[in-house]
Amino acid sequence: MTVSAGRGPAGFALLWLLLIGAIPLGRLLAEGFAASPLAVLDQPAVARAALTSLAVAGGASIVAALIGSALAHALLLRGPPPARGVLVFLSILPVLVPPQVMALGWIQASGPASPLLLALGLAPPIGTPNPVYGLGGMIALLGVQGAPLVLLSVAGTLRRLPGEVVRAAEALGANPRQVLGRVLVPLLAPAVAAGAALAWIAALGNFGVGVLFGIPARRIVMTVLIWRRLSLGGPAALGEAAALSLLLALMALPALAVQWWAARRSPTPAGTPFRPVPGGGGLAASLVVGLYLVVVLAVPFAALLAASLVPAAGVEISAATATLRNFAAALAPGAHTAQAIRNSILLSLTAAGLLAAAALPIALTVRRPPVRLASSASDLTYALPGTCTAIAVILVVLSVPGGILLYGSLAAILLAYLARFQALALRPVAAASARLDPMLDAAARSLGAGPLQRLARVQAPLLAPAMTAGAILVALTAVNEVTVSSLLYGPGSQTLGVLVFTLQESGQSAQAAAVSVLALVLMAGLMAAATLAARRLPPGTLPWRP
């Protein structure tokens, strides 16, 4: 017996999913196939960009699998090392920090113009190319940002893994090494593969790292190529952009297939919770993980802060050169920073609220075949690279009367966020609605309550924590977004992520560093607020909280 939400909520859910998911995807498919996605491969620039994107995605997924597996082994599988909670939080942090901010931190932590390296006497000679520019730098950074996805995938499987599996192996005489190698590794291999597949898709669709690391080395990835073609060609280039987006989607299909395979092999929750295998590196494991975090997080963030406090690039940081001039310029009247911050917060919070509210009727009616079919479109818009969603929304906006006026506006970006993140808001609500006692709905119905009354008075209060969890996840993800907004922004609708890379590309690296520091402060504030709110929400709402 399941909860029934009535025809009204089901009709709303179906209409909503068609508007934000199925229709944009349909327009993308129609326009893209009309321009023939495979035919564009005949263009040398497209073929080079496709091969570069595949190399970056493949390399990043391998790096993510190796690092994520090592972190899971040190922090989750063996006896808990000292300060495990802090180390887990910091290990997940790379995926939460905006990619363009991480990229700028790595740029400032290397190369001859690094204020921090100049102050330490470690800067390479002037004229030395920055080592992070190019294919290797993109693979390294995107691999580091993908490693938390593998760690979280393993952690999710461990929450469902029965603890009796380990105890049974120990009862048969297996030592800790045998338990890990013969029992846990085979059981967790699908989780590692699923996390690596997520890292593949994230690297394939990344824009900020491709712009900041790829363009200086003339290594153009598909997302940057689509951005360039659309920026230079205007609406006339939409057909080609749609074809390129479909090609990008085809490149993501192997990773989607791996995720489907891994999901079918996920264990069913049963028995007692999993407990780490006794032993492990202890303090040594904490020190190794800590050293890794210093290299990939602390040093780049320190270099970013140093770059924001010097008057110009190439000036070493010292008491004599330190200045707040860049922060003053970024926040001065007429600067775009304050407006970009407002736009990012407004868009992320509005999208979070709307998607959380829409998730309620969708979750309650998703078992109905039409709603389930329509919800698969929203799953695709989240699973595929963000560039595909952006092009799909552009096609929809320009196909309606007066749509040209919406192009480049906040409304267009909001529509893209709704299409992109509905699946993220729906997951916790769908999981919670599946656990609702159907007798509550039956009792309300026997008292004469209609579908809308049951929705508002019975189901909504019970599912409010899950809706809040979905809203938090959407807000934290959307406030960092740059790929979608880079294709849709116009005058007055710049987001914080777009501002960072435009400042860097225009040669204002010191001011770009200052804006990046402000973005980190904003992110820290949002994470703190989410942590406080999560105390009253179901366990596992936030990735850094158990």
Residue 473 has pLDDT above 70, yes or no: yes
- The CATH number of residue 494's host domain is 1.10.3720.10
Answer whether residue 434 shows pLDDT above 80.
no
| pLDDT score at 313 | 79
Q: d(Cα 436, Cα 451) in Å, to the nearest integer? A: 16
Q: Which residues pair with 268 in a beta bridge?
A: none
Domain count, the chain: 2
**pLDDT score recorded for residue 106:** 93
Residue 542: inside a domain, yes or no?
Answer: no
Tokens of 190: 């699908």
What is the predicted pLDDT for the residue at 1? 42
What is the C-alpha separation between 212 and 226, in angstroms, rounded? 16
Rounded to the nearest integer, the mean pLDDT of the chain is 85
Query: 234 falls in which pLDDT band (50, 70, 90)?
Result: low
| Nearest residue to 512 (alpha-carbon basis) of 316, 313, 315 | 313
pLDDT score of 225:
92
- Mean pLDDT along residues 360-388: 86
- Whether the CB-CB separation of 40 and 244 falls below 8 Å is answered with yes
Q: Do 319 and 332 share a domain, yes or no? A: no
In angstroms, the CA 26 to CA 426 distance is 21
Whether residue 104 is found in the same domain as residue 210:
yes
Average pLDDT on 36-58 reads 87
Answer yes or no: is 546 within a domain. Answer: no
Classify residue 484 as exposed, middle or buried by CB count within 10 Å of its CB (0-12, 13-18, 19+): buried
Distance CA 78, CA 391 (A): 45
Torsion over CA of 99, 105, 213 and 525, rounded to 10 degrees? 20
Q: Convert the pLDDT of each residue in 140-150 to its tens digit.
A: 999 999 999 99
- Given a cut of 80, whether residue 244 has pLDDT beyond it is yes
Spatial CB neighbours of 213, under 8 Å, sequence gap ≥ 6: 103, 107, 132, 133, 134, 137, 138, 141, 219
Between 533 and 54, the higher pLDDT residue: 54
Statement: residue 436 has pLDDT above 80: no
Contact (CB, 8 A) for 441 and 454? yes
pLDDT over threshold 50, residue 439: yes
Q: Residues 20, 108: one domain?
A: no
Whether 6 shows a pLDDT value over 60: the answer reads no
Would you place residue 398 in the very low, low, confident or very high pLDDT band (cuts 50, 70, 90)?
A: confident
CA-CA-CA-CA torsion sign (505, 506, 510, 515): negative
In the predicted model, what is the mean pLDDT of residues 430-450?
A: 72
Same domain for 25 and 62, yes or no, is no
**Predicted local confidence at residue 539, as pLDDT:** 64
Q: Within a domain: residue 449? A: yes
Backbone Cα Rg of the chain: 24
Compute the CA torsion angle 33, 482, 507, 491 (nearest 10 deg): 80
Least trusted range by pLDDT, from 116-125, 274-283, 515-524: 274-283
Same domain? 202 vs 218 = yes
Query: Per-residue pLDDT averaged across 34-48, rounded?
Result: 80
pLDDT at 466 (0 to 100): 84
**pLDDT at residue 538 in the model:** 64
Same domain, yes or no: 355 and 487? yes
In terms of average pLDDT, the best of 138-142, 247-251, 310-314, 507-511 is 138-142
The answer on 89 and 138 residing in a single domain is: yes
Give residue 450's pLDDT. 66
Q: Which domain holds residue 412?
A: 1-35+324-537
